[in-house]
Amino acid sequence: MPDMPKPDQDHQPQARLQPAINQVDHRNEVDMVRLRAYRLGRVQQELRRRDYAGCLLYDPVNIRYATGTRNMTIWTMHNAARYCFVPAEGRAILFDYRNCEHLAAGIETVAESRRGTFWYYFSVADRRAEIIQRWAKEIDDVVRAHGGENRRLAVDHVDQDGSAALEALGLKLFNGQEPLEHARMIKSREELVCMGQALTVCEAGLAKVRHALEPGRTEIELWSLLASTNTEMGGEYMETRLLSAGGRTNPWYQECSERRVRPREIVSIDTDMVGPFGYDADISRTFFCGPGKPTDNQRTIYRLAYEQVHHNIELLRAGTSFRDLSARAWKPPPRFAPLAAGVVIHGIGMCNEYPQVYPGEAHERAGYDGVLEANMTVCVENYIGEKGGLEGVKLEQMVLITERGPEILSLFPFEDELLA
C-alpha cells in the first residue's frame, strides 16, 4: 500500500474562518444585496458576451441565482408555475404563481413581479394551445421592450410547444443553461460564506448520523437525521436519499431502505443537501458500525478511496486544463474500474453544476476541455467497490480552487479505524 496522503489541515483556511451568522436572508453577516448584485451581474455579463437580449428562466435554481427570490422550489421544479425574464441590462421581470407577487417585494434585482401565465396540462387542459399563444405574446412584448431589435433569447427549460410559439413570433432561441452555468461557476465572498453555512449544517447532521450508528438502526432512520437537521437549522431540501449499509453499498446509487444495519458493516452516505440560502452541501463519508474491528477488505477499499480523493485534490490548481486533470487523475486498480464513480470533479454551488471532468477513456468519449479558475468550487468524489464484491466505499470532498492551490471546505473527519 502506498504512503497515505498528507492530512487536510494545511488546506482549510476558508472553512476555518466561517463566521457565525443568523440564518435569515435580511439580517446577517452576509451582505445579501451585494450577493444578489454579484449574481445578477454575472448572468448579464454572460448574456452580453453572447449578444442575447435576455434569458427566460424556469429552473427555480436559475431563478434563485439570478434574482435572489424563491417560491415553492420543489413544486416548481415539476410544475412550470414560475419563471422570469432577465434582460442583458437592467432588472428582472418575475412571473410568479397566483397571488405570490408580494414575495419579491423589496428585492432590488426585480423591477416588477407579475402573475404568470401557466400552461402545464392539468391547469389548462384543452385550452393549452390558446394560453400558450397568450404567454408567448407577453414574452415577446417583454423582449421587445428590453432588447429592441435584438431577437436573440436564451431559454433554459421550455417544452416544444412553447418554443414553437416563441419562434413563430420571430424570436431566435438559444440554450439558456449555458450562460447560467458559466455565470454560476465563479463564487463571490458572500457565496462562499453561504456555502460554509450549508456545510456547517450538513456536518452537524453527519455527526448525528455517526453518533446514532449502531446495529439495528435502519438506513432510512439514519438518513432522516441528516434531513431533519437540515430542516431544523434553516436548510431547504434534500436532492437524494443516498445512504446504504453492508451489501447495499455495492453497487452504489441505492437509496435508503428499511434494511437494518448489522455489526461490522460499513455505511456510506452522500449528503446531496441543499442547505441555508439555497446552497448545496455535497460530501460523502463511509462509516464502520461496531462492535468489532473492520475487516482487511474494508480497510483496503477505504484506504484506496481516501488515497484517490486526496491525490486528486492535490491536482487542483488554477490554470489546470480539464484534459490535463483527467490525464493525471488517480486511476483505480483494474478490478475496481467497472464500478468507479466515473467523474473526477464536478462543480458545486446551488446544486451540481459546470464543470464536470471525466477520467481517462470517459473523458475522450464524453468530456470537454476548459480551465480551472480561482474561486471555482468543486466536489472531488469517488467510489471504490469491486464488481460482485460485498461492500463499497463512497468519499467526497468540497474544495475551493485558489491561486495558491486547493482549500478544503468540508471538515468532517475520516475514519481512523478504517485507515489504520
Q: What is the CATH number of the domain that holds 39?
A: 3.40.350.10
The cell 456510506 sits on which residue? 268
Single-letter amino acid, residue 114 = R
Q: Which of 184, 218, 238 is the endpoint of a domain?
A: 184
Q: Which of 159, 184, 209 is the endpoint of a domain?
A: 184
pLDDT of residue 13: 78
Instruction: Answer positive or negative: Cα dihedral of 263, 264, 265, 267.
Output: positive
Single-letter amino acid, residue 43 = V
pLDDT at 66 > cutoff 70: yes
User: Within 13 Å of residue 295, how many CA atoms lie on the same side as its CB?
Assistant: 11
Q: Give the whole-angstrom CA distance, residue 377 versus residue 19.
A: 19
> Region 294-313: what's the mean pLDDT?
98
> Region 73-97: what's the mean pLDDT?
97
Q: Give the whole-angstrom CA distance, residue 308 versus residue 303.
A: 9
pLDDT of residue 16: 77
Instruction: Answer positive or negative: Cα dihedral of 298, 242, 230, 28.
Output: positive
Same domain, 58 and 102: yes
**Longest CA–CA separation in the chain, Å:** 73
Same domain, 127 and 230: no
pLDDT at 8 > cutoff 70: no
Span 27-36, pLDDT tens digits: 567 899 999 9
**pTM for this prediction:** 0.94
Q: Which of 184, 208, 242 is the endpoint of a domain?
A: 184
pLDDT at 327 > cutoff 60: yes
CB 251 within 8 A of CB 339: yes
Same domain, 232 and 178: no
The cell 435508503 sits on which residue? 256
Q: Give the whole-angstrom CA distance, residue 46 versus residue 153.
A: 13
Nine-digit cell at 312? 486528486
Q: Which of 12-26, 104-118, 160-174 has the lowest mean pLDDT?
A: 12-26
Same domain, 254 and 361: yes
Count of helix runs (H) and strand runs (E) in the chain: 14, 17
Residue 333 covered by a domain: yes
Nine-digit cell at 258? 428499511
Residue 3 covered by a domain: no
Residue 21 covered by a domain: no
Phi and psi at residue 276, in whole multiples of 5°?
A: -55, 145
pLDDT of residue 18: 72
Q: Which DSSP symbol is given to 263?
A: T
Same domain, 404 and 394: yes
Same domain, 293 and 305: yes
Same domain, 256 and 273: yes
Rounded to the nearest angstrom, the gap between the alpha carbon of residue 284 and the centroid of all alpha carbons in its chain is 13
Q: Name the packing angle between helices 128-147 and 160-168 (round to 10°).
A: 50
Q: Which residues of 273-301 are buried (b: 16+ CB within 10 A; e: fewer)?
A: bbbbbbbbbbbbbbbbbeeeebeeebbbb
Residue 197 covered by a domain: yes
Radius of gyration of the chain (CA): 23
- At CA 266, angle to CA 265 and CA 268, rounded to 5? 145
Same domain, 155 and 293: no
Same domain, 176 and 195: no
CATH of the domain at 221: 3.90.230.10
Span 378-410, pLDDT tens digits: 999 999 999 999 999 999 999 999 999 999 999
Whole-number Cα distances in Å, 289 to 169, 263, 334, 404, 420: 62, 6, 28, 38, 15
pLDDT of residue 394: 98
Instruction: Answer positive or negative: Cα dihedral of 199, 200, 201, 203.
Output: positive
Q: Give the whole-angstrom CA distance, residue 328 versus residue 172.
A: 41
**Residue 357: beta bridge partners?**
345
pLDDT of residue 28: 61
Residue 5 covered by a domain: no
Same domain, 227 and 131: no
DSSP characters over 179-248: HHHHHHTBPPHHHHHHHHHHHHHHHHHHHHHHHH--TT-BHHHHHHHHHHHHHHTT--EES--EEEEGGG
Q: Give the whole-angstrom CA distance, residue 151 versus residue 54.
A: 9
**Short-list 300, 345, 65, 278, CA closest to 183:** 65
Span 212-263, pLDDT tens digits: 999 999 999 999 999 999 999 999 999 999 999 999 999 999 999 999 999 9
pLDDT at 12 > cutoff 90: no
CB 75 within 8 A of CB 118: no
Q: Quick check: helix, strand or coil at residue 177? A: helix
Span 168-217, pLDDT tens digits: 999 999 999 999 999 999 999 999 999 999 999 999 999 999 999 999 99
pLDDT of residue 27: 56
The cell 438518513 sits on which residue? 223
The cell 437525521 sits on which residue? 225
Domain around 370: 185-419
pLDDT of residue 26: 52
Contacts 24+ apart (CB under 8 A), 73-80: 73/236, 73/237, 73/278, 74/237, 79/118, 79/120, 80/118, 80/119, 80/120, 80/157, 80/158
User: Domains in the chain: how many in total?
Assistant: 2
Q: Give the whole-angstrom CA distance, residue 404 versus residue 340.
A: 30
Same domain, 222 and 347: yes
Q: Give the whole-angstrom CA distance, residue 331 versus residue 318.
A: 22
Residue 2 covered by a domain: no
pLDDT range class, residue 1, cuts 50, 70, 90: very low
Residue 22 covered by a domain: no
Residue 235 covered by a domain: yes
> What percent of the chain is modeled with pLDDT above 70?
96
Single-letter amino acid, residue 153 = L
Same domain, 55 and 137: yes
